[in-house]
Amino acid sequence: MARKKKKEIFRYDCTLTGETYKTTKKAKHPEELISVAAYYELNPDKDDRPEHVKKNLEETNE
């Protein structure tokens, strides 16, 4: 039986929101990482999420 490889988990903090998230790939420039929420906050014109998603996020932030 073959052994499973353990994936290494990397944890990073968003530089704007302080939110911690994890990934299985190492970032080349971790000091430049931001969360998806922070990206959309900085670029509202590029926010292409459906309206119901935006509404749910607003309700949970209140």
Each residue's pLDDT tens digit, 11-58: 999 988 888 989 999 999 988 888 888 898 899 899 898 999 888 888
- Decide: 27 and 13 in contact? Cβ < 8 Å: no
Can you read off the two tokens belonging to residue 58? 């607003």
pTM here? 0.63
Report which DSSP code applies to 2. P
Going by pLDDT thresholds of 50, 70 and 90, the confidence category of residue 2 is confident
Q: 9-34 burial, b if ≥16 CB within 10 A, otherwise e?
A: eeebebeeeeeeeeeeeeeeeeeebb
The pLDDT assigned to 1 comes to 65
